[in-house]
Amino acid sequence: MPPPSETIRIPLVVDQSDYRWKLLSKILNIFDLRKVKRIIARYASLKAIPVLKITTTSMFFSTQISHVVSELKQRKELREFIGIREKEVPKESYVYAFLSKFSLTGFIAMILRILNSITKRRARTPE
């Protein structure tokens, strides 16, 4: 068993028949919506979209950002799945530097706006 500080780096092989990959696809497609791009543009440049997709993929599979970046460099099918061209795959240092520029409240505000824009509003029932 590896020490707690080491993480196991599973290969990120896209399997469209796997429910986890289907769910991740739906999540990542949110970043390509026009209304979401407008929200992101208020908080950062649109160069943030690949960074957010990489970060989301990292969180989804409980792996490090550096692992996702190295897998993107190696696997064409993963780049196509995430929607990042080979030339657009950022260095891991860029991803970390980009994320460090966000304040916690700014990042949370952006994510909440994105979530509010994609969820349906429920009408309140009078009590």
CA 120 to CA 91: how far, in whole Å? Answer: 36
Domain contains 78: yes
Domain count, the chain: 1
CA 75 to CA 42: how far, in whole Å? Answer: 32
- Orientation angle between helical segments 92-100 and 48-60, nearest 10 degrees: 100
Residue 40 structural domain = 19-116
Domain contains 65: yes
Domain contains 85: yes
- Residue 1: pLDDT band with limits 50, 70, 90: low
Q: What is the pTM of this model?
A: 0.83
- pLDDT tens track for 56-74: 999 999 999 999 999 999 9
Domain contains 125: no
Is residue 3 within 8 A of residue 59, CB to CB? The reply is: no
CA 77 to CA 84: how far, in whole Å? Answer: 10
- Residue 91: pLDDT band with limits 50, 70, 90: very high
